[in-house]
Amino acid sequence: MLKIENLNIKKDNRMILREVNFEVNAREIYGILGPNGAGKSSLAYAIMGCNDYQPCEGKIVFEGKEINNLSIWERAKLGITLAWQHEAHFEGITVEDYLLIGMKKMNRTEAGEALQNVLLDPKAYLKRKVDTTLSGGERKRIELAAIFTMRPRLAILDEPDSGIDILALDSVVGFVRNLRQRGTTVILITHRADVAKIAERAALIGEGYLVKEGSSQEVVEYFESRCLVCPQFR
């Protein structure tokens, strides 16, 4: 479904991704692991087509079509979306309206169901604003709910577990599985080994390079034994 070929990204005169190659199959959960600053989020922004993350070399191919020159919204129209690690806030926009934005057919009932899917009570949240009055964890869940309502073909989830308390981690795992069950392919970016294990396959990014690719079990073990013990990656 998604093929990354020799991807190189330069930002502020510094190479942040180098010669990255991997493929993601349809309806797969594909994990991206790596320490802070490794280039995981940059990879997500590049796939989404964000400004400042255009490849200086290499190709991003989605369902057989190179998408390097497509804008963010054109990629979204193809079915690609991204849940940012640090979500934006929107003054004056209700959660309900925010959830409706990405739907192909606006359906208020489905907006409520999406909130339930991330363990938020629709009665308590639909009329709230997507602004700074939400806690980090609430905002994160609403972002995931927005992904759910979009029914994307490919969802890139950038650290969906960050800002979520340990007790709610199971709900994030459940959310990712639900998403896949609805037909969405998931790229799951995390540095939590316990979350990464729900992926079938994974890649480890370090200092902009794809260091290892394999089953999530193999990559997690590699990450835990080599990266997490290395002081420079902590």
Partner 1 sequence: MEDYQMMLKAYQEAGGTPDIFKDSKIAHLVVNQNKVLGSRSINGLILTAKEKEGGIDVDLRVKEGTRIAHPVHLCFGILPKEGRQEIKLNAVMEKGADISILAHCVFPNPIKVQHIMDATYILEDRAVLKYKEVHYHGLTGGIEVIPQSKIKVGKDARIMTDFLLVKGRVGRLDIDYQAEVDENGVIEMVTKVYGHGDDEIRVKESGQLFGRGARGLIKSRIAVRERAESEVISELRASAPNARGHVDCIEIVQGEARAKAVPLVHVLHEDAQITHEAAIGRVNQKEVETLMARGLKEEEAVDVIIGGMLK
Closer residue to partner 1 (CB): 115 or 202: 115
CB of 75 or CB of 180, closer to partner 1 = 75
| Contact call for residue 82 and partner 1 (CB under 8 A) | yes
Strands of the 154-158 sheet, one edge to the other:
80-83, 154-158, 185-189, 29-33, 201-206, 209-215
Q: Which is nearer to partner 1, 88 or 167 (CB)?
A: 88
Q: How many residues bind partner 1 (CB under 8 A)?
A: 24
Which two structure tokens, joined as six digits, stand for 82?
Answer: 């991204």
Strand duo 65-66 + 55-62: pairing: antiparallel
Closest alpha carbon to 4 in 127, 116, 156:
156
Q: Is 186 in the site for partner 1 (CB under 8 A)?
A: no
* C-alpha–C-alpha distance, residues 129 and 90, integer Å: 7
**93: contact with partner 1 by CB under 8 A:** yes
**Residues in the chain, total:** 234
Which residues lie across from 87 on neighbouring strands? none
Residues 135 and 125: their CA atoms lie apart, in Å, by: 12
Does 163 contact partner 1 by CB under 8 A?
no
Which of 102, 137, 163, 214 touches partner 1 by CB under 8 A? 102
Among 6, 25, 68, 71, binds partner 1 (CB under 8 A): 71
- Asked if residue 105 binds partner 1 (CB under 8 A), the reply is no
**Contact status: 88 vs partner 1 (CB under 8 A):** yes
Binding mask 22-51 for partner 1 (x = CB under 8 A): --------------------------x-xx
Backbone angles phi, psi at 132, to 5 degrees: -75, 0
Rounded to 5 degrees, φ, ψ at 28 are: -100, 150
Candidate list 15, 61, 70, 72; residue touching partner 1; CB under 8 A? 72
In the complex, the smallest distance separating the C-beta of residue 132 from partner 1, rounded to whole angstroms, is 11
At residue 212, what is the residue type?
K
Kindly state whether residue 193 participates in binding partner 1, applying the rule CB under 8 A: no
Residues between 127 and 146 with contacts to partner 1, criterion CB under 8 A: 146
Q: Are 226 and 207 in contact (CB under 8 A)?
A: no
Binding site for partner 1 (CB under 8 A): 48, 50-51, 71-73, 75-77, 80-82, 84, 87-93, 101-102, 146, 150
